[in-house]
Structure 1
Amino acid sequence: MADPVFYDLCMHCAPDGKSTQEEMAGMAKHLGFAGIGMTNHSNSDPVAKVGSEAGIEIFRGVELVASNPSKLHGLVGKFRHKVDVLAVHGGDEGINRAAVENPNVDVLLHPGTPKNSGLNHVLAKSASDNNVAIAFDMASLITLRGGRRVHALSHFRENLMLARKYDVPFLLTNNASFCYELRAPREMMALATLFGMERDEAKSALSETPAEIISRSRRGRNFICEGVEIVEGVESENEGGLE
């Protein structure tokens, strides 16, 4: 069986972060990643250069930051066809709901607050229905200390249980903005066991789920499901399946 191909789709480079895109790519390649997503915040300068860098594939992304659901929907419309990875910075109940109810969103980042995990049964069901992945940010487990780290682990456990129950896609990310904040895939999988994620789940969260997000983006948003796509505004079924 071939070794899994690992991706981290949520990273930030200068001017949004401390390291350049080249530095982030070089470190990610050294640690064993095959591809990374540069998802600078929407209120920062976007990443202009994408493609192959230092033997690693770089995907154009954005992390949308919005003050209310209406503004979020406007940003989704603005960026969806410009990026491979469209993530939403959550934490507000209205933003979380708007993100998981929008099939044009790929990833919901930081859904929780210090007081709650940010997800519930209704939001998890919407995320599953609309194929919006929930991100588990490994940086919080590394940087937080004491009670804040305990709360983060508890919230991750809650969200993982909901993701399992409703078959919500989920991924792991370093959410790094500095090249030395990156951790190797095996280290990330080990960290994920702290909140109950099985090794096979963690492996999939670093390989299969991000690969599907990229594949879906490259197929285009006219793709509905296997064998079904929208052609010139009309839903049609491919008798022979996708080519």
Structure 2
Amino acid sequence: MENPVDINHIFDEKGIKLLKELGWHGSIVVQYHDNYDKKIFEEVKEYGEREGLKIYAGVKIKSESPKELVRYVKKFRSKVDVILVEGGILKINRQALELHDVDILSTPELNRRDSGIDHVLARLGSVHRVAIELNFKQVLIKRNLYERARLLWAFRRNIHLAKKFNMPVVISSGAENIYGIKSPYDLRSFLNTLTGDPVYSKTIMEFPYKIAEYRVYLKRDNVIRYGVEVVEEE
């Protein structure tokens, strides 16, 4: 794996150090939009610099209104590197997948009887290059075996649709403390059981880095849009 990057809620120095020790190249540190604090990101980046771990700022937007979602996405697009949207509500899933400025639709299956993604939404995600997230923490917190089996079914179905329509997929530990942190090899092994395709699992593991670096690139002062840069003559 090249440059594996985890997606989590780890803000303390001890957690950042553990991520590095376990083999992560970087971490997309996520705050919820209603608790956003730039100073927290700055502190975490300092920890990352000391440990040699690349830190990206992420914000997760929770909304029940598509119009409100669009407003929040516009508000935070220039403030953070990665924008995630918490899914589960079908109209929110669809709206998130229709926005170029959204990077990841998180937990599209949340509180649903289906997987939250169908063929139409998979096509939208492919066109707009919005990834769907497989949140490993959601598997761990399921105490009911039926609910855990249902979630694994949803993961497999969404992976099948994503692969069929070339829709991006990412996996996250979703860790909120050091006890939830997993190594990149643990998550890849879990993916292998879902996909049955080690090469595709590797692609999923490497996608968070590509998303984060793409957004960092677009924020450069000399970049007008992807592929169009202002170059000073010597």
RMSD: 1.9
SS at match of 2:31: coil
Q: Give the alignment of 1:61-210 within 5 angstroms.
A: 61-112=58-109, 113-145=111-143, 146-207=145-206, 209-210=207-208
* Aligned 8 A contact 1:139 1:174 in 2: yes
TM-score (norm 2): 0.87
Give the total of aligned pairs: 219
Identity of aligned residues (%): 27
Report how far residue 97 of structure 1 moved: 0.6
Which letter does structure 2 place at the counterpart of 1:108?
L
Distance 1:74 1:7, change over 3 A: same
* Aligned 8 A contact 1:22 1:53 in 2: no
Unaligned segments of structure 2, at least 5 residues: none
* Aligned 8 A contact 1:96 1:108 in 2: yes
Report how far residue 167 of structure 1 moved: 0.1
Q: Deviations over 1:151-190 (max 9, x none)?
A: 0110011100100111001111001111210111111111
Report how far residue 218 of structure 1 moved: 1.9
Which letter does structure 2 place at the counterpart of 1:156?
F
Unaligned segments of structure 1, at least 5 residues: 14-19, 232-237, 239-243
SS at match of 1:177: coil
Q: Could you say which residue in structure 1 is the equivalent of 2:34?
A: 43
Q: How far apart are the structure 1 equivalents of 2:189 and 2:216?
A: 31
Distance 1:167 1:220, change over 3 A: same
Distance 1:53 1:103, change over 3 A: farther
Q: How far apart are the structure 2 equivalents of 1:67 and 1:59?
A: 26
* Aligned 8 A contact 1:154 1:195 in 2: no
Distance 1:230 1:71, change over 3 A: farther
* Greater helix fraction, Structure 1 or Structure 2: 2
Deviating above 4 A after TM superposition, structure 1's stretches of 4 or more consecutive aligned residues are none
TM-score (norm 1): 0.84
